[in-house]
Amino acid sequence: MMHAFEYAAPKSLDEALKLLGSAWGDTEILAGGTDLLSLMKDFVVQPKRLVNLADVGLAGIAPEGDSLVIGAMTTLDALLAHASVPTALTQAAAGVHSPQLRSMGTIGGDLLQRPRCWYFRRGHGLLAQKDGASMVEAGDHRDHAVFGNGGAAKYVNPSSFAPALIALGASVKVRGQNGERSLAVKDLYRTPASATEREFTIASNEIVTHVVVPISRSSNATYEIRQRHGLDWPEASASVAVTVVDDKVTAASACLGHVAPVPWTVDVSSLVGSVLTAESAAAVAAEVVADATPLTMNGHKVELAKVALTRALLRAAGKEVVR
């Protein structure tokens, strides 16, 4: 049973903003609830007030100029059903192998879900420090970060959509008391320096309202690798966007998921100017993971990240070998 809280289901964004507290933890925003309610049952978060965004009108997908604007409360099912949603996003949505989660979960909730790190989920805090040392390093860390793990944060960003959105150059619209601002999806995340901070750059009284995806003619794809076929978060994933003109790559961007405390943007520009082949994809992936800093138990994730990136590139180029 969760701790008791008061509840509001405001009818407008303005009303919702007024209900949010200026300190993390006092109030929480309810989207699909698939992560938040479990965190509350485990007393990892214990809000005094819950603000449900179901009735503020943030569900829906519509083209707007050169972009596709996706409301933060749009469900995974709705993303999968919409013809204009880029492949990299629909492939990420399809990776959530639970119809229940796809009918309930939202794109905004996915972007702002909390890490799956078992130390965090057991109440040891985001940085899992004990007597000034990392419980992650001392304990079981097979699923933890292999990039960006030099500081206290060792958990991995759990978002399915962030890598794809970053590869596609997407941004989010954020509403606060002082109006609206736009933020590149990449800049939504940070690695917290202390346990009192959250892993997001937005404030507790700001709301991610929309995801804005530029409509491009790039070929894009997501490739996720899971331990099991069923419902689970990936061990590693890669999302890529590649522009090919006359068989040659003219632009390429990529982001890895589930390997670092933030979605891990990587440089694949060495592909530009040549034909994308199995060899060139593998070569750039090997180059990318050469920077990895695995802990003692998670070296396999480096290999999985390499394979995910190679296969995402080949999938985007239509050269995937289906086994």
Partner 1 sequence: MSDPNGLSRRHFLKGVGAGAIVAGSIEALSAEARAAAQAANPCVGPGAVPIKLSINGSVRELAVEPRTTLLDALRNHLDLTGSKKVCDRATCGACTVLIDGKAAYSCTTLAIAAQGRTIETVESLANGAELAPIQKAFVEHDAQQCGFCTPGFVVASEALLRTNASPDRAAVLEGLGGNLCRCGTYVGLKKACMSAGAPAKGGRR
Residues 27-56: x where in contact with partner 1 by CB under 8 A, - otherwise, as a string: ---x--xx--xx-xx-------xx-x-x--
Rg of the chain in Å (alpha carbons): 19
CB of 230 or CB of 273, closer to partner 1 = 230
- Per rule CB under 8 A, is residue 101 in the interface with partner 1? yes
CB of 44 or CB of 297, closer to partner 1 = 44
- Per rule CB under 8 A, is residue 139 in the interface with partner 1? no
CA 213 to chain centre: 15
Size of the site for partner 1 (CB under 8 A): 34
CB of 19 or CB of 251, closer to partner 1 = 19
Least Cα distance to 33 among 103, 135, 128 occurs for: 103
Torsion sign over Cα 195, 197, 198, 204:
positive
| Contact pick of 14, 60, 84, 100 for partner 1 (by CB under 8 A) | 100
Least Cα distance to 16 among 284, 256, 291, 204 occurs for: 204
* Stretch near partner 1 under the rule CB under 8 A, chosen from 2-10, 61-69, 243-251, 271-279: 2-10
Tell me the closest approach of the beta carbon of residue 318 to partner 1, in angstroms: 22
Q: Where are the alpha helices (DSSP H) in 69-116?
A: 76-81, 87-94, 99-104, 107-111
| Contact pick of 21, 26, 69, 98 for partner 1 (by CB under 8 A) | 98
CB of 100 or CB of 196, closer to partner 1 = 100
CB of 50 or CB of 167, closer to partner 1 = 50
**Two tokens at 267?**
């440089």
At 150, the amino acid letter reads G
Residues 224 to 253: which contact partner 1 by CB under 8 A?
229-231
Q: What are the C-alpha distances in Å from 40 to residues 5, 28, 29, 122, 167?
A: 10, 10, 12, 12, 32
Residues 74 to 93: which contact partner 1 by CB under 8 A?
77
- Per rule CB under 8 A, is residue 3 in the interface with partner 1? yes
Q: Kindly state the helix (H) or strand (E) to which residue 114 belongs, with its residue range.
A: none
Can you give the binding site for partner 1, defined by CB under 8 A?
1-10, 15, 19, 30, 33-34, 37-38, 40-41, 49-50, 52, 54, 77, 97-101, 103-104, 229-231
